[in-house]
């Protein structure tokens, strides 16, 4: 049961996953492209490589002989995963899931064309000229996203043709090694949810109660659970999540994102790993948080049930625009003086503009209104400042 895990990506989500698997006695090698990344601080050993470089990946796989490879980010040469799987290494949740979700095109084609899930209208473009055509066909407003990116990186909403050039240049500056973009029709949703979906090995797929979140600049600011939603739309979302996770295969947690419109759920995207908005589960909203669920699913351990214990909320703390070389934090006492709040400081060694540095957690009873908790979490998070250590 105690496995050797190679964790590819060592951010805040990786750190919590590392803690969860360490608690189950596993050995962990944390990998990222910079030293002292959050998960490295709680792992047995570390490697600093460029994960988009297949040779560097091969070298560390060869060196460590892991039982399991757990990707925490998208920007990895995931094509190599098929080979690792053939070598008998378990890739989480599966080589196909990690490879498909790295590129928005693969996952969109699977969702919309193969499985017939409801999505926003979309087209692809690989040059400024084709982008203009695509946007004209989709109509305005539209959303432009690099194919190889996630969580709003390089993404913009364009109101009319005058905004296209800026959006194209912004998308090109996004993460990953593709310059292609997807142009999506703007969905006028009432709210959006993350449906944490736990695909198990030889056991039924389980769903966490839905999480609602607020995004700004394409990035999550607060999330709260459980989302109050039309039960019919929740069933639609669960059915879509089951379909697509079954098609991707393997075992692990997936963050499946939906727009909820007045007439039902629209599939947006999915990540085959714990989701940033799922950090709300660190407020012990459930009997097992999303990282513990992922750990159990990955290790093929039982998950007898997922139970909502209380309502909760999370609010992120961002770094200021000016870079900080040795971050320190003020206002932590204000959070900890609240007996129903807590903070997770990720321990990132330095900041860049708007980098996510910590998350504030706030909880109530199962009857409490999660939206009120969200407002309280935001107020507490706003008391935290990231400053240069004296």
Catalytic annotation, residues: 150, 152, 257, 269, 276-277, 356
Distance CA 92, CA 98 (A): 7
Distance CA 7, CA 125 (A): 33
Give the residues lining the site for ligand AMP (CB under 6 A).
120, 143, 145, 150-152, 155, 184, 186-187, 192, 215, 218, 257, 268-269
Of 361, 100, 42, 35, whose CA–CA distance to 254 is shortest?
A: 100
Closer to ligand AMP by Cβ: residue 167 or 343: 167
Instruction: Report the run of H or E that residue 145 belongs to, with start and end.
Output: strand 142-146
Closer to ligand AMP by Cβ: residue 54 or 121: 121
* Nearest approach, Cβ of residue 6 and ligand AMP (Å): 26
Tokens 């296209």 -> residue: 164
Distance CA 356, CA 151 (A): 12
Distance CA 349, CA 326 (A): 7
- Going from the C-alpha of 38 to that of each of 14, 30, 34, 219, the distances in angstroms are 8, 9, 10, 20
Closer to ligand AMP by Cβ: residue 251 or 318: 318
Q: Coil, strand, or helix at residue 75? A: coil
Q: Following CA atoms 347, 283, 213, 353 in sequence, which dihedral angle do they give, to the nearest 10 degrees?
A: -10
* Nearest approach, Cβ of residue 145 and ligand AMP (Å): 6
Of 95, 86, 78, whose CA–CA distance to 248 is shortest?
A: 95
Q: Please, what is the Cα angle at 268 between 273 and 307, to 5 degrees?
A: 50
Closer to ligand AMP by Cβ: residue 54 or 152: 152
Distance CA 313, CA 351 (A): 24
- Residue 194 phi, psi dihedral angles, 5° rounding: -110, 125
* Nearest approach, Cβ of residue 218 and ligand AMP (Å): 4
* Bridge partners, residue 28, by sequence: 5
* Nearest approach, Cβ of residue 21 and ligand AMP (Å): 26
* Nearest approach, Cβ of residue 220 and ligand AMP (Å): 7
Closer to ligand AMP by Cβ: residue 208 or 343: 208
Closer to ligand AMP by Cβ: residue 269 or 338: 269
């Amino acid at each position: 049961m105690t496995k050797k895990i190679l964790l590819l990506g060592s951010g805040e989500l990786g750190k919590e996953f590392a803690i969860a698997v360490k608690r189950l006695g596993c050995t962990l090698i944390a990998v990222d492209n910079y030293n002292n990344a959050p998960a490295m601080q709680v792992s047995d050993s570390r490697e600093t490589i460029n994960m988009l470089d297949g040779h560097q990946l091969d070298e560390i796989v060869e060196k460590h002989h892991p039982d399991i490879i757990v990707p925490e980010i998208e920007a990895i040469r995931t094509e190599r995963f098929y080979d690792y799987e053939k070598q008998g290494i378990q890739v989480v949740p599966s080589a196909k899931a990690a490879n498909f979700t790295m590129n928005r095109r693969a996952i969109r084609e699977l969702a919309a064309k193969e499985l017939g899930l409801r999505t926003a209208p979309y087209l692809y473009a690989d040059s400024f000229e084709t982008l203009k055509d695509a946007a004209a066909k989709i109509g305005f407003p539209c959303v432009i996203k690099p194919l190889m990116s996630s969580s709003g990186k390089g993404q913009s909403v364009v109101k009319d043709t005058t905004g296209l050039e800026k959006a194209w240049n912004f998308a090109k500056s996004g993460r990953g090694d593709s310059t292609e973009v997807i142009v999506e029709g703007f969905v006028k949703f009432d709210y959006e949810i993350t449906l944490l979906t736990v695909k198990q090995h030889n056991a039924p797929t389980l769903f966490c109660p839905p999480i609602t979140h607020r995004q700004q600049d394409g990035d999550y600011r607060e999330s709260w659970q459980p989302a109050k939603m039309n039960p019919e739309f929740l069933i639609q979302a669960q059915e879509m999540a089951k379909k697509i996770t079954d098609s991707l295969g393997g075992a692990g947690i997936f963050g499946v994102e939906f727009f909820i419109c007045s007439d039902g759920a629209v599939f947006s995207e999915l990540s085959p790993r714990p989701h940033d908005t799922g950090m709300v589960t660190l407020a012990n909203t459930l009997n097992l948080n999303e990282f513990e669920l992922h750990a159990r699913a990955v290790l093929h351990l039982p998950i007898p049930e997922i139970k909502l214990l209380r309502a909760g909320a999370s609010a992120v703390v961002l770094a200021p625009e000016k870079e900080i070389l040795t971050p320190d934090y003020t206002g932590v006492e204000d959070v900890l003086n609240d007996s129903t709040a807590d903070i997770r400081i990720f321990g990132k060694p330095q900041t860049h503009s708007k980098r996510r540095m910590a998350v504030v957690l706030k909880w109530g009873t199962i009857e409490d209104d999660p939206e009120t908790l969200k407002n309280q979490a935001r107020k507490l998070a706003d008391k935290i400042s990231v400053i240069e250590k004296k």
